[in-house]
Amino acid sequence: MCRLAPTALLAAGIFVIVAASSVSPQDSVAPLPPPDVRDHPYGPHPRHRLDLWKARSSQPAPLLVNIHFGGFSAGDKSTVDRAFLERCLASGISVASVNYRFHRDAPFPAPMLDCGRAVQHLRHSARPWGLDPSRVGAYGHGVGGGIALWLAFHPELATPDSADPVARQSTRLAGAVAIDAQTSYDPRFLRAHIGGRAHEHPAGPAFFGLPLEEFATPHAHRRFEEASPYHHASADDPPVLLYYRLPDVALAADQGPPGHGIHHPRFGKVLARKLAALDVPCQLVLRPSAARDFKISDPVDGPGRNEILGFLACRLVGLVEPGPGR
């Protein structure tokens, strides 16, 4: 049986607080190997495309779906850390990377539903592509991690009686990994728990498809909750790993530009407390970066990759028992 490696344990929520780290030159983004399946359409929009790298296996392989960062307004499926991709493939985990519509093309719930549809399409194609549809997880940085958590916590999106065989496939996950991710997009949550000016993020109106003057209405509040992974978390959800690389420091109300604090580790800490109360396994890793020029788009360093691969080995491969000595 897999076990997580806590330094401190709070019910089912697991907090791992480790020393500062940095990204070495060899950890920088390198050209990706050619995918086995390139620019495959999973829907009608030009952004509905995915790439797939297949693990070499005689048996159907577990699958990790990478969801890119970019604030719902930018980014691409090509932003995969090569070192992490190669480690996944060597561990027997196939990797898909997906694009989704930006908020200028379609506001919420389009990005989340697009990624759900990509999961369904991958499951529908599992046999010809050598995938195990029962072992599918999701991974992402920033909003990509937020979408991964939304899929992990949101009720099933499948339509069992649909005439579309893809729509009949499940969107539920075996696990999710979120790096520097938002666990809620509700401005009320951000004001209460994050501080700073995170709740003033300029992407909010475009993402929600609402003018700022409507943010105080009940309609907007329902939309905020529907968009937020935290709101959907329930006792039947899969295990998650939350990984943060910014320092856990208090933010003044007027600190920084609008949106400052949008990748704060408090997003993870608040969600971890809720998951603990629900008895949902959650590994929270706080590993502040020592790099002066650190960016959220930076790849996770070597020790971080080991932490994440250990979690995925438990949740998707199910053969390795990671522990403190990894």
Tens of pLDDT, residue by residue over 196-206, are 999 999 999 99
Buried b (16+ CB within 10 A) or exposed e, 87-120: bbbebbbbbbbbbbbbbeebbbbbbbbbbbbbbb
What is the share, in percent, of the chain residues with pLDDT greater than 70? 88
Encoded amino acid at 112, one letter: M
What is the token pair recorded at 273?
A: 């407390």
Query: Could you tell me if residue 296 is inside a domain?
Result: yes
CATH of the domain at 87: 3.40.50.1820
Question: What confidence score (pLDDT) does residue 21 get?
Answer: 53
Residue 7 has pLDDT above 50, yes or no: no
Query: 3-state class of 142 per DSSP?
Result: coil
Tens of pLDDT, residue by residue over 28-74, are 456 899 999 999 999 999 999 999 999 999 999 999 999 999 999 99
205: exposed, middle or buried (Cβ count in 10 Å: 0-12, 13-18, 19+): middle
Query: Could you tell me if residue 203 is inside a domain?
Result: yes
Residues of the domain holding 44? 8-317
**94-98 and 282-286 beta bridge pairing:** unpaired
Tens of pLDDT, residue by residue over 77-123, are 999 999 999 999 999 999 999 999 999 999 999 999 999 999 999 99
The one-character DSSP state at 8 is E
Q: Work out the average pLDDT over 258-269.
A: 96
The rounded mean pLDDT for the chain is 90
Number of structural domains found in the chain: 1
Nearest to 138 by CA among 170, 103, 97: 97
Residue 24 has pLDDT above 60, yes or no: no
Query: Could you tell me if residue 30 is inside a domain?
Result: yes
Question: What confidence score (pLDDT) does residue 325 get?
Answer: 30
Q: Work out the average pLDDT over 119-137.
A: 98
Query: Could you tell me if residue 71 is inside a domain?
Result: yes
Residue 212 has pLDDT above 50, yes or no: yes
Cα separation, 179 vs 154, in Å, equals 19
H-run or E-run covering 182: none
Query: Could you tell me if residue 323 is inside a domain?
Result: no
Query: Could you tell me if residue 322 is inside a domain?
Result: no
Query: Could you tell me if residue 2 is inside a domain?
Result: no
H-run or E-run covering 218: helix 218-227
Cα separation, 45 vs 71, in Å, equals 19
Predicted confidence band of residue 149 (pLDDT cuts 50, 70, 90): very high
Question: What confidence score (pLDDT) does residue 315 get?
Answer: 93
Question: What confidence score (pLDDT) does residue 255 get?
Answer: 86
Predicted confidence band of residue 20 (pLDDT cuts 50, 70, 90): low
Q: Picking from 133-137, 171-175, 247-251, which range would have the lowest pLDDT averaged per residue?
A: 247-251
What is the token pair recorded at 34?
A: 């050619």
Query: Could you tell me if residue 238 is inside a domain?
Result: yes
Buried b (16+ CB within 10 A) or exposed e, 310-325: bbbbbbbbeeeebeee
Cα separation, 286 vs 244, in Å, equals 5
Residue 146 has pLDDT above 80, yes or no: yes
Predicted confidence band of residue 293 (pLDDT cuts 50, 70, 90): confident
Q: Which residue has the higher pLDDT, 1 or 252?
A: 252
Question: What confidence score (pLDDT) does residue 66 get?
Answer: 98
Question: What confidence score (pLDDT) does residue 29 get?
Answer: 54
